[in-house]
Structure 1
Amino acid sequence: MSKKIKIATIGGGSSYTPELVEGFIKRYEEFPLSELWLVDIEEGKEKLEIVGNLAKRMIAKAGLPIDVYLTLDRREALKDADFVTTQFRVGLLNARAKDERIPLKYGVLGQETNGPGGLFKGLRTIPVILDICKEMEELCPNAWLINFANPAGMITEAVLRYSNIEKVVGLCNVPIGMEMGIAKLLDVDHSRVRIDFAGLNHMVYGLDVYVDGVSVKEQVMEKLTDPENSSFVKNIEGQGWEPEFLRALNALPCPYHNYYYKSKDMVDKALKSAETEGTRAEVVQKLENELFELYKNPDLVIKPPQLEERGGAYYSDAAVRLITSIYNDKRDIQPVNTMNRGAIASIPNDSAVEVSCIITKDGPKPITVGDLPVPVRGLVQSIKSFERVAAEAAVTGNYNTAVLALTINPLTPSDTIAKQIVDEMLDAHREYLPQFFKETVETK
């Protein structure tokens, strides 16, 4: 009898979980999952039960022998797991709303994974991920950690640098979204498209793009100058690139590059949105409420199409494709966050990068790209410095390091503004940042 396969999903009450379940159902023949453990915290109990029941209905409709367990006991979920997937949000969407609103008061972009929002999401998330890593060492030392929690690059960096877990892969739906978007632009099947990705999470570039192994980069670059074609994710509306800029850049930017190459436009847009429909977090809160109302319906036995509006489209394709390829030693090519190991010459070998890799039973093997092109190299290195310093701040709880991290981020205009934002956001997120308030606690 073949060994049972157990997956533990931390943040199992997430609205994304039906995506994941759909992926396991679609790929069951390649990856015969036995047990899916969905784990969450007390505050997420109601959502966990709603999503968990939908997951059970989806699996029952598919007629598959997958047992779904719902628990608030993380250790129970982790015990003897083969894969651990993480998709949680410390502080829930209320914390994200603060990440987005507070920086805007200072004329700085408020966004989930970039600038101050990315810093503070990392500061809240990294200590929790490192706790999970310690439990994995004890309870499932041979498991793979597949992290989807943002900021995925910074979290992968922290795990590689501050834990003993080596079997870690960071995952994002942006590269697969770009592949799907380009397949649609060219009116070809996604399986025929391949992009040479290199850079960092939410700072990744397509260095070349192929259909059936033949480069179609120039054709794609031309199409990307149309605003209608310039973004591939639901949560970032494309602004359209100046044709001259794009031709000279000679690389495919990802949607998140809008925040760096169109900073003022994006800040102005965020300010306007915050006054009218609300920040992205506030929009998502409404969307999530609607989704969970749908999920409650006992007659719903599939992933509802409305989930794609959430911004996580193709998550299941990316996550389950990766897990299946590791399990089957497929040696196919996928873009993931992993240790650089010399793949990108412009980045330290022991740092996390997002790059096209050959996926084996021993994990991702990065495909060497050499030096990044000069026009993109400096920005990528700047963000890598930010990620490194931010991860250090998260682990040490050092206030000065947090201020430094935000100051060196290209989206922050000055050290003075960085300090003001850090002060206000530390206060706003105090409950989730105990590492920064150790002395106060000890004094009391």
Structure 2
Amino acid sequence: MTHPKIAFMGAGSVVFTQGLLADLFAFPELGDAHIALHDIDPERLGTARAAADYIAAQRGSRATVTAHEERRAALADADFVINIVQIGMGEATRTDFDVPAEHGLRQTIGDTLGIGGVFRALRTFPFLKALGEDMAELCPDAWLLNYTNPMAMNVQYLTAATGLTKVVGLCHSVYWTMNDLAKLVNVPFEEITYRAAGVNHQAWVLRFEHEGRDLYPVLDSLIASDPELRRRVRVDMYRRLGYYPTETSEHSSEYVPWYLRHDTEIERLRLPIGAYVGIVDDNVTEYQRTRKALLSGSPLLVEGTMEYAPQIIHSMVTGTPRTVYGNVPNRGLIDNLPAHGVVEVPCLVDGSGVQPTRVGSLPPQLAALNRTYLSANDLVVRAALEDEPRHIRHAAMVDPATAAALPVERIWELCDAMVRAHGERLQPGLRTLLGS
């Protein structure tokens, strides 16, 4: 593949776009790539374009950079499409927190499961359907590399609603979890051997070794000797389930019924309620700082992020083999999870594409939690595919943290409130109010 065209959907997420571009431009073999940036916000698109030009110059890249307010122009003849769109931006995210909080529901991140994850998915699905239709027409052989959350719901919907087959969801949680664990046990990351599998934001470290030695006993000793380390949700889950989860404690607390319902657990495990709203504010501040620096000609510090999308693109263009973690339809990869669900597994990447590897069966306690997660996902996707608003409520009833916090009448009332709040962002058939 020569002169690959890489289209960015939602390039106005400038901070994340910058990191991806820094990684892409670090590969000399991608120096002649065409970077096509798309965003519906002209100001943010202009900032992304200026940042891309700056990073290319700093990295000595010969890449061609173009900016497009019209999506189809960016997609035409693309080889890769990177999706980082966030429908509704910060306003919608605040709605995802404020309305549930008024109904007595606590959330920390709200982008994967729970009420926040459900409605983030439902307002994203119409865009994904349109994107899939455009890709089928304009770049049918392109790989869609999705970063937009809720990852598993979005990938399941994409594969079910659009017919696209070259779709993989990418997340940095496994990579950074293993980096953190390596530091904790004082072993260089490059020297550890690991294997993880499960679902996005709730995968599990099944193997954690150094030169053939199991590192879990080392981790056990550290946890036993450090009371503060035990004040983390993911450590608490590891101690009880036997395998370390691959997402932060803030994320992990939302996918089970045991923590956010109880004031004592929030205090014991130091859970920051509403944390993601602060992250959104920080991203806006960083965007404004970047825009100001570009307008004034000030130096811009941009570092690589070790994200998977640039590595995948490099492997496909050059044939360099790599292993990454991807989110793909199960289809026999994990035996004791539903075949139609989207799972996170090791994937081999080379010139022939992304090839998921079969894991077998998860330990039963892990599969039990993952199945609940995938059941909620399936109901959200079915709500959109079947235009069935009752399935929105069914998904919320199945969700562990929501069910633990609210009686069923309040769950239905909350779903009505969220439908009213998000209004026209939802497909028309899902705007029906059903009462309690």
TM range (shorter): 0.7 to 0.9
Structure 1: how far apart are the matches of 2:286 and 2:141? Answer: 35
In the alignment, structure 1 residue 70 sits paired with structure 2 residue 70: no
Whether contact under 8 Å (1:79, 1:139) holds in the other structure is yes
Whether contact under 8 Å (1:336, 1:355) holds in the other structure is yes
Whether contact under 8 Å (2:257, 2:401) holds in the other structure is no
Give the equivalent residue in structure 1 for 2:24: 24
Give the equivalent residue in structure 2 for 1:337: 327
Structure 1 position 369, deviation (Å): 2.2
- The normalised TM-score by structure 1 is 0.85
Deviations 1:226-280 (A, max 9, x none): 57668xxxxxx944634xx6344221113232334574347759999xxxx9933
Structure 2: how far apart are the matches of 1:271 and 1:70? Answer: 45
Q: What code does the residue aligned with 1:425 have?
A: M
Give the equivalent residue in structure 2 for 1:430: 423
Paired residues, number: 416
Structure 2: how far apart are the matches of 1:423 and 1:56? Answer: 45
Structure 2, unpaired ranges of 5+: none
In the alignment, structure 1 residue 286 sits paired with structure 2 residue 278: no
Structure 2: how far apart are the matches of 1:32 and 1:71? Answer: 21
Give the equivalent residue in structure 1 for 2:394: 404
In the alignment, structure 1 residue 107 sits paired with structure 2 residue 104: yes
Structure 1: how far apart are the matches of 2:431 and 2:408? Answer: 24
In the alignment, structure 1 residue 156 sits paired with structure 2 residue 150: no
Name the Cα RMSD after superposition: 2.8
Structure 1: how far apart are the matches of 2:212 and 2:307? Answer: 22
Give the equivalent residue in structure 1 for 2:243: 251
CA separation of 1:389 and 1:278: change in aligned 2, threshold 3 A? closer
Structure 2: how far apart are the matches of 1:84 and 1:240? Answer: 33
Structure 1: how far apart are the matches of 2:238 and 2:431? Answer: 48
Give the equivalent residue in structure 2 for 1:241: 235
Structure 1, unpaired ranges of 5+: 231-236, 306-312
Which of 382, 385, 403 pairs up with 2:375?
385
Structure 1 position 163, deviation (Å): 1.7
Deviations 1:79-127 (A, max 9, x none): 0001000001111111011112222223323322220000000111122
Structure 1: how far apart are the matches of 2:193 and 2:21? Answer: 26
Q: What code does the residue aligned with 1:319 have?
A: A
Structure 2: how far apart are the matches of 1:161 and 1:222? Answer: 45
Worse-superposed segment, 393-402 or 215-224: 215-224
CA separation of 1:188 and 1:241: change in aligned 2, threshold 3 A? closer
Worse-superposed segment, 94-103 or 192-201: 192-201
Structure 2: how far apart are the matches of 1:249 and 1:184? Answer: 22
Q: What code does the residue aligned with 1:292 have?
A: Y
- The normalised TM-score by structure 2 is 0.87
Deviations 1:391-429 (A, max 9, x none): 111233321111111111111224323211110000000
Whether contact under 8 Å (2:7, 2:35) holds in the other structure is yes
Structure 2: how far apart are the matches of 1:269 and 1:85? Answer: 42
Give the equivalent residue in structure 1 for 2:131: 132
Whether contact under 8 Å (2:256, 2:400) holds in the other structure is no
Deviations 1:349-384 (A, max 9, x none): 343211112223333333322221112111100111
CA separation of 1:300 and 1:374: change in aligned 2, threshold 3 A? farther
Structure 1: how far apart are the matches of 2:114 and 2:319? Answer: 37
CA separation of 1:399 and 1:218: change in aligned 2, threshold 3 A? same
